Structure formats: C-alpha cells, structure tokens
Amino acid sequence: MFAVITPEKIQLPPGAVVRLPGSWQDYQKLTQQLGDRSIPRIKYRPGEILLMSPLPIHGRQAHIIAMVATVLLDYSGQEYEAFTPMTMELPEISGIEPDYCFYIDNWEAVAGKDRIAWGVEPSPDLAIEIDVTSYTDVNDYLPYKVPEVWLYKRNQLLIYNLESDRYNIATNSRYFPNINISEILTECFRIASDRNTSAAIRELRQKLNREN
C-alpha cells in the first residue's frame, strides 16, 4: 500500500509517517477532511504537518499504560478525568493528539464538558505518548504547559516533568512519587505478552491490594 494524500482521499499504510510543509489553514483543511476518523493521526508544528498511521502495537501499548495509570490513580485515591482520543489545538502554534491524557489536579475544570477551550481552560495534567515511528516529540506539549508527559519508546518509559518552561526527565511521577512506574510497566507488559492484557491488569490490582 502506498501513501495517498489528495483533497479527496487520505490513505497511509500502517507504520507510515508523512511530513508535509503546510500552514495552519492547510492543517485545518486536513482535519476537516479527516472528520471523525482516528486514523491517520495528524499533528501541526509551525510550517509543518505530520500524518501517521499507527501500527497495532501502538494502540496496545497505549491501552496498557493508560490502564496502569488508571489503576494507580484508583489505588492512591486520586480523582481524575481521562480522555482518548483528544485533539489539542492552539491556532497558528500547535495541533496535537495525545494517545491518552488525564486531568488529575484540574479534573473539576473539565468534568462533564464536551469541549475544552485550549489556552483558556487548563491543559491535561498527564499526557501519555507511544513512539513506535519517531512521530512524537515531548516538546510538542510545551505550548500547552502539560505538567507531566509519559513517553514510551523502545520498550522504555521516559517520564518528563515540566520545570521552568522545559521538560526534564524525572525518576518518578509527581502523581505517584513513591511508585516505580517503569518496574510496574515491565511486569505488566511481560504478563500481557505471556497471557493477555486483562491478566496483567488484574494481577496488578491484586498486588496493590495485598500491599495496602
């Protein structure tokens, strides 16, 4: 299958990433053309549009990591709102689609809302990104000042915390400071590979309940 991008049709083979020169207006036209389609993914940086068709492993890894985050939020008794998919846009500046995102400190600001006014209402507190095709750059989240970004790349979790308008790699999550997220994910992915995702998440819940 070849990549096809025309005013009438957008089609990318799985795993493909296409970079195009383009304006904000071009990006808006493409998003309108895609409509409610979740594939391909689309991103805007000043002067550049990126399209990506994810591989199946992308969605599987995103689901497992989001489920781990959900279990840990429940375990630690934190309130939250979660969204996937979500399009975040700042006109002329940025357009991105996180794989998954959570409102934790600011959940009340978006609870029950169907739309979020970017630049007016708070950005997500935690964004999760899977990078299988070198499509993701943590700095895409700088314009939105997302406090924490989890980037899973090459079977490794990188936790980035926003500090003084830049992202720095952190050892632990600010939302789970006493939990080794990387260790938990390694074990969950192992169980999911040997058995399935439900077994991995079920065993994580059981382990946390035993330690409580």
Taking only the tens place, the pLDDT of each residue in 132-171 is: 766 688 999 999 999 999 999 988 999 999 998 999 999 9
- Is there a contact between 190 and 197 (Cβ–Cβ < 8 Å)? no
Query: What is residue 159's three-state secondary structure?
Result: strand
Do 80 and 98 belong together in one domain?
A: yes
Give the residue-averaged pLDDT of 162-184.
Answer: 94
Give the residue-averaged pLDDT of 91-118.
Answer: 93
pLDDT confidence of residue 2: 65
Tokens representing 125 are: 């507190």
The answer, yes or no, to whether residue 204 has pLDDT greater than 90, is: yes
Q: Which range of residues forms the domain containing residue 2?
A: 1-53
What is the pTM for the complete model shown?
0.92
Do 20 and 59 belong together in one domain?
A: no
Do 179 and 120 belong together in one domain?
A: yes
Give the residue carrying structure tokens 């957008």.
10
Do 68 and 37 belong together in one domain?
A: no
The answer, yes or no, to whether residue 23 has pLDDT greater than 90, is: yes
CATH of the domain at 205: 3.90.1570
Do 128 and 141 belong together in one domain?
A: yes
Q: Which of 53, 73, 89 is the last residue of a domain?
A: 53
Do 151 and 180 belong together in one domain?
A: yes
Do 132 and 170 belong together in one domain?
A: yes
From the list 75, 77, 33, the residue with the least C-alpha distance to 51 is: 33
From the list 51, 43, 54, the residue with the least C-alpha distance to 93 is: 43
pLDDT confidence of residue 91: 94
User: What is the average pLDDT score of the chain?
Assistant: 91
Length of the chain, please?
212
Strand ranges for 37-155 from DSSP E: 41-45, 48-52, 81-83, 88-90, 94-96, 100-103, 126-131, 148-153
Do 70 and 155 belong together in one domain?
A: yes
- Is there a contact between 125 and 146 (Cβ–Cβ < 8 Å)? yes
The answer, yes or no, to whether residue 94 has pLDDT greater than 90, is: yes
pLDDT confidence of residue 79: 97
Give residue 1's pLDDT band: very low, low, confident or very high (50, 70, 90): low
Min mean pLDDT across 1-15, 41-55, 97-111 is at 1-15
Give the residue-averaged pLDDT of 21-30.
Answer: 94
Question: CA-CA distance, 207 to 16, in Å (whole number)?
Answer: 39
- Is there a contact between 130 and 99 (Cβ–Cβ < 8 Å)? yes
Do 100 and 190 belong together in one domain?
A: yes
Number of domains making up the chain:
2
Amino acid letter, 44: Y
